[in-house]
Amino acid sequence: MNKLRQFQDLGHVAVLIIGDYTARIGDPSGRSEIRPQLSIEKIDQNARTYVEQVFKILDRSRTEVRFNGEWLSVLKLEDIIKLTSMFTIARLLERDDFHKRFIENAPISLMEMLYPIMQGYDSVAVRSDIELGGTEQKFNLLIGRDLQKEFGQPPQLVITMPILVGLDGVNRMSKSLGNYVGINENPNDIFGKIMSIPDSVMRAYFELVSSFSADEISSMFNEIEKNNANPSHFKRVLAKDIVERFHSMDAAINSEKEFDR
């Protein structure tokens, strides 16, 4: 979202696609087993929550929110057959998680095989010129390029961003793993959670979540590496910055005081 906001600040309009329809399949990225399907009610609830949160980062006036059910729900069987005819099983098995499961003789559902194609079709539907996503989405984003070529559109540029590590410093940040920081959480909880992250992942948090420039971040970590500055001091700087961003400066000041009580 930070990178998307940077594009907005440069004058671009961001098209934020909510995968309400692809969520019925479930993104198999990084999965070693078939993902359980969510109910339509749960998907709708998640979508509403997501839209509420993103505007704490994105500029509402430069954001177009689209739900991919808008174009995926109207596809007929002949449309889906046409889409699937553009790819081979061998091509889809190039995806790391599918390849791993295939080698291990673990189940891969046809439904999961459809996911990259359905997500890729999003790029066709909105005529995307640049698509941003996490590194684990690279395969799906490239499928989008392939589909755009098939539909006579200029292929989008693809920009991938590192996945933010969770509070445990090991696994990707995930609500299901309980190692996450929620944008709408209480300021005191956000501050405390950021202070709990391992020093080893602090730079990643500065680079992916904070409002500091690359030069400012490099300067801070030079202080740590060359002058033996206390990492805890800069972790406080990070925690205050994140609380201020999602709440207010007063909330950042008060949450630090509460942390020190």
Which amino acid is residue 226, in one-letter code?
K
Condensed to tens digits (0 to 9), the pLDDT of residues 198-248 reads 999 999 999 999 999 999 999 999 999 888 889 999 999 999 999 999 999
Please identify which residue in the block is written with the tokens 């007929």.
Answer: 76
Q: What is the pLDDT of residue 53?
A: 85
Lowest mean pLDDT among 33-37, 64-68, 96-100, 126-130: 33-37
Structure tokens at 232: 């805890």
pLDDT tens per residue, range 72-111? 999 999 999 999 999 999 999 999 999 999 999 999 988 8
pLDDT tens by residue, 17-56: 998 888 876 655 555 455 566 677 777 777 778 888 888 8
Would you say 138 and 158 are in contact if contact means Cβ atoms under 8 Å apart? Answer: yes
Which residues belong to CATH 3.40.50.620 in the chain? Answer: 1-161
What is the predicted pLDDT for the residue at 12?
Answer: 94
Pairing of strands 130-134, 63-67: unpaired
- In the chain, where does the domain assigned CATH 1.10.240.10 lie? 175-260
CA distance 119 to 162: 19
Answer whether 196's CB lies under 8 Å from 184's CB: no
Degrees, nearest 5: CA angle 20-80-50 = 10
> 1-161 falls under which CATH superfamily?
HUPs (3.40.50.620)
Query: Which pLDDT does position 195 carry in this prediction?
Result: 97
Provide the 3-class DSSP secondary structure of residue 65.
strand
pTM over 0.95: no
- E strands, the chain, where? 14-18, 63-67, 130-134, 157-161
CATH code of the region 175-260: 1.10.240.10
In whole angstroms, how large is the CA radius of gyration of the chain?
21
- What is the predicted pLDDT for the residue at 21? 87
